[in-house]
Amino acid sequence: MTDALEASEVRASAARDEAARSGAAQDGAAPDVPAQSEAGPLRSLFDAVHDTVTEVRARQDDYFVRRPLRLPARLLSAGGDETVAASLARLLGDTYALTVEAVSDEAELTAVDRLAAARATRSGPLPAPAPPSAREAAALARLQEERRAAVTREADRIGAAAPERVGVLGGVLPYLAAGPRTEDRPPVVLVNALGMGTALWHPLMAVLARTHRVLTWAPRGTAPDSRPLRLRDQADDLAAVLAAEGARECHLVGWCSGPKAALAFHRRRPGAVRSMVFLHGSFRHTGDAAGREPDTPYERNLEELCRAVTARPALAGRLRTLFTGAPAPLPDDTPPHQAAEEVLARPARALDTELLRPFADDAVLVAYARQLLDYWADDALAHAGDVDVPVLCVGAEFDRIASPERLALAAGRFPRARHELLPGATHHSMYDRPAEVAALLTEFFAAAEPRSIVSGAPR
């Protein structure tokens, strides 16, 4: 296995060098780091630990300094050999710079531990081969980091690229475009949340753009000189971008408040929509006076804020600070289960500034509040029965922004919908887990394509 890993490293290094010489791949295609299937039968276990540790450290870098990662002993030794399990646990710990413990009582597993175990067995039970050597494990860890770095480099390139521009009512809309234009494959339109920039989408764009044309933009309406925009205006902007691209059809991926704009567009031009994905979407409707649908505390507090600053804009300066505080560090004595859930529910620290965009200043907050009240007044699900295209509703276990329970209920309103819940994920999974989300979406898009297109799809 060592020779195979070293050969893979040579290929990955060559790919990096070629990407550097060419200034990165054209049309948004990320340098393709090999999948490394030759890394051995325990690859899924090492990937699971790497991905989980990386995700947790992005939220709190010292989480594993005082807390171990516990894994079921059955995963580390299919034959129940405690010596083998302990040896593999030590190897994983040395490879990723943390303490890994094998446990027999799975009640001890925290949400972080369960996430790693679920990822390891996603494709079925693990085999029981001899553990790799420390050298092989270190080589695999380097390959994993390069795979992650390749996505980051391409995401940064997409974010730094000059945007395309299209004229819209009230001005010019800049939008990001990545990936190849193809006649037989409709673009993927990432319908953004109100008030947000595009940075959260860049990692997912980097992966999706390898096979699809991908488009997104920052919704208008919160700039100081902007006219008030309503939900129908956001649908107008979507139509304008598609026209600029010369696209007759598209796949729509709406995040957070984006699904309502996607559905508003679909009501106008149902034949232009091949499929829809509602990624941590919110179908909150203030007309639900009976309170039958669940809210998160964040949603309830945000509505109070929006109504207050809309009624009295002078309050914006005082009230917006309620939503701009950084989460406090976890105390060392936080119980393990509570600490794990808390850290998984937090956004990555790199998003601190980006997530404060709607609260950037008083004028932005007032405009954002008006947009949200208009958005909440729209009962998009009243038209759900008319949606005759495939729909995928993707929720997150630790979404503290948009109610995952409401999204699960909404899925039942669409004739051709299915619901997926991402374990251990947050409201920002497209940023945290671009490869995982891209794999889910591309599988869904492929199922929605005509058979003649699927058979010719690039691999």
Q: Could you tell me which residues are beta bridge partners of residue 345?
A: none
Q: Which stretches of 269-361 are DSSP H helices?
A: 297-311, 316-319, 336-345
Structure tokens at 328: 């406090």
> What is the rounded CA–CA span in Å between residue 218 and residue 123?
37
pLDDT tens-digit readout, 237-249: 999 999 999 999 9
Q: Give the model's pLDDT for residue 14.
A: 37
Residue carrying the six token digits 């300066």: 317
Cβ count near 303 (within 10 Å): 17
Checking if the pLDDT of 24 tops 50, the result is no
Checking if the pLDDT of 298 tops 90, the result is yes
List, in sequence order, every beta strand (DSSP E) within 301-457: 391-396, 417-422
Residue 97 φ/ψ region, left for φ over 0, alpha for ψ in the -120 to 50 degree band, beta for the rest: left
Burial readout 190-201 (b: 16 or more C-beta within 10 A, e: otherwise): bbbbbbbbbbbb
> What is the rounded CA–CA span in Å between residue 264 and residue 233?
10
> What is the rounded CA–CA span in Å between residue 312 and residue 335?
42
pLDDT tens-digit readout, 132-184: 899 999 999 999 999 999 999 999 999 999 999 999 988 899 999 999 998 88
Pairing of strands 250-255, 214-216: unpaired
Structure tokens at 3: 């020779």
**Domain range annotation of the chain:** 2-153, 162-455
Q: Dihedral of CA 412/414/417/422: which sign? A: negative
pTM beyond 0.85: the answer is yes
Average pLDDT over residues 87-104: 96
> What is the rounded CA–CA span in Å between residue 362 and residue 312?
11
Q: Give the model's pLDDT for residue 79.
A: 65
Average pLDDT over residues 200-214: 97
Q: Dihedral of CA 347/429/156/143: which sign? A: positive
Average pLDDT over residues 285-308: 84
Q: Which of 327, 359, 346 is nearest to 428 (CA)?
A: 346
Structure tokens at 223: 């700039």
> What is the rounded CA–CA span in Å between residue 41 and residue 214?
34
> What letter would DSSP give residue 94?
H
pLDDT tens-digit readout, 37-60: 334 678 999 999 999 999 999 999
Q: Which of 305, 307, 351 is nearest to 326 (CA)?
A: 351
Q: 103 in helix, strand or coil?
A: strand
Checking if the pLDDT of 22 tops 80, the result is no
> What letter would DSSP give residue 326?
P
Query: Could you write out the three-class secondary structure of 126-155?
Result: CCCCCCCCHHHHHHHHHHHHHHHHHHHHHH
The residue count for the chain: 459
Burial readout 33-61 (b: 16 or more C-beta within 10 A, e: otherwise): bbebeebbebbbbbbbbbbbbebbbbbbe
Let me know: does 196 contact 358? Beta carbons within 8 Å.
yes
Q: For a pLDDT cut of 90, what percent of the chain falls above it?
A: 74
For residue 241, how far is the Cα from the chain centroid?
Answer: 23
Structure tokens at 371: 């947009």
Q: 312 in helix, strand or coil?
A: coil
Q: Give the model's pLDDT for residue 413.
A: 97
Average pLDDT over residues 389-401: 98
> What is the rounded CA–CA span in Å between residue 108 and residue 1?
34
State the pLDDT confidence band at 17, using cuts at 50, 70 and 90. very low
State the pLDDT confidence band at 5, using cuts at 50, 70 and 90. very low
Q: For a pLDDT cut of 70, what percent of the chain falls above it?
A: 86
> What is the rounded CA–CA span in Å between residue 53 and residue 115?
10
Q: Give the model's pLDDT for residue 186.
A: 96
Q: Domain 162-455: which topology? A: Rossmann fold (3.40.50)
Let me know: does 208 contact 179? Beta carbons within 8 Å.
yes
Query: Could you write out the three-class secondary structure of 172-216?
Result: EEEEEEECCCECCECCEEEECCCCCCCHHHHHHHHHHCCCCCEEE
422: number of CA atoms within 13 Å, CB side?
26
**457-157-60 Cα angle (round to 5):** 100
